[in-house]
Structure formats: C-alpha cells, structure tokens
Structure 1
Amino acid sequence: MKCKKHIALLLTLIIAFSTVLVGCGSSNGSKDDSSKDGKKTKVALLLAGYLGDKSFNDSANEGVKKAQGEFDLEVKIM
C-alpha cells in the first residue's frame, strides 16, 4: 500500500516538474506571423441560430468583427 502512494507521489511530482519546464520554455516562433508572409489569419464563426435576435450569436458576431478590425483577419460567418 505504501509503495502505491510513493509511486503516485513520484508521478505527480514528475508531471508538475514537466509542466513547469514546458511553461518556462522559450518560443522560437514569431507573435505576428501574418505580417511576414502577407497572408491573413482565417477565422470562422459557426452559429447554431440566426443573427438579429439580440442573443449570444449577435454578441459573438460583434466580437469577431471587432477582432477583424484589430488583427486584420479574414472572417467567414456560417
């Protein structure tokens, strides 16, 4: 029984340490990829209902349009 607790503790510590290492790693990628290759980032808004009923879909649509203006996105609403 004690052996199982020790193994569980060891695995928990390994997972926690691995998470810290991954979180502290450096990223070699750039933050603004769209300006380098000239391509816009594509975003799709999938709606389960319709626009114009002042519900969640309208709020999501407003957010996507705001992000489109700020980040130069190619947006498609379905």
Structure 2
Amino acid sequence: MTFIGKTVHLAIDAVLISTCLAGIKRNTGLTPKIDHISDITVREYSTKYLNLGESVYDYTVATLGSSSYFQRK
C-alpha cells in the first residue's frame, strides 16, 4: 500500500474512532477527560477531534433516520 493509501486509511480509522466515542457519549454520557491535558494546543485539537465525531454521528443518524431501510422504535 502506498503512503497516501495508508494515510487515508488511518484518517478514516481516526474518524471512525471519534464517531464511536460520540456514540458512547450520546448513549451513556461517558466522555474522555480532556480538561486534564496540560498543553492547550493538544486540548484544542482534542476538542476539534471529538467534535468531528459528533458531527459525523449526527449526520449518520439523520441520514439513516430518513432512509426507508431503517425505522425508529
């Protein structure tokens, strides 16, 4: 696999992990403690990373909710 292919694969994996964390947050209320990160730059990027997962989760739920293949119970 090429360098670009591996980079894309890792980026997609990172988004999937962030989306999984967003789902855990929505269903259980558990979230990573990013307040304990001392470096402000890392804390800001961690917040952006988790917000990306929230956005992907919201988009996925909205898309599946309007699909005829899924139903709400």
TM over 0.5: no
* Greater C-alpha Rg: 1
TM-score, structure 1 length as denominator?
Answer: 0.33
Quick one: higher RCO (CA 8 Å, sep 6+), 1 or 2? Answer: 2
Higher helix proportion: 2
Structure 1 or 2: larger strand share? Answer: 1
